Amino acid sequence: MTGYAYILRCSDGTFYAGSTRDLDNRLETHAQGIGSAYTACRLPVELVWFAEFARIDDAFGLEKRIQGWSHAKRCAFIEGGFDAIKGWSARERKLRRTPNPPATGG
């Protein structure tokens, strides 16, 4: 059965990742404040990304992956898809934040 993974931008700038079999209905429930406790207190919400899958469990799997991502990684993904987040593993992010070690004299 078809499924959808989606990302909403909430009024406070945070993102909400979800999955559903009926995207239009799910977006309406979010808009009414009954979609989830998280989005209910962050209305209005805006759909910023979605993908359709042949199987709902594939959509759910991507939802769970997205939920583990940082805000910055979600932003990059929304803007550029999977190509934009290549190299975003936790290890590589840590390496990017580590300043160059000081040069030693010798």
Query: Along the chain (106 residues), what's the average pLDDT of each consecutive run of 10 residues?
Result: 95 97 97 95 97 97 95 94 84 53 52
The pLDDT of residue 105: 55
The pLDDT of residue 87: 87
Domain positions in the chain: 1-68, 69-101
Q: pLDDT of 60-86, one tens digit each?
A: 999 999 999 999 999 999 999 998 998
Nearest alpha carbon to residue 1 among 79, 83, 57: 57
Residues near 27 by Cβ (< 8 Å), separated by ≥ 6?
Answer: 6, 35, 47
- In angstroms, the first-to-last Cα distance of the chain is 66
The pLDDT of residue 1: 77
Look at domain 1-68 and name its CATH class.
Answer: alpha beta
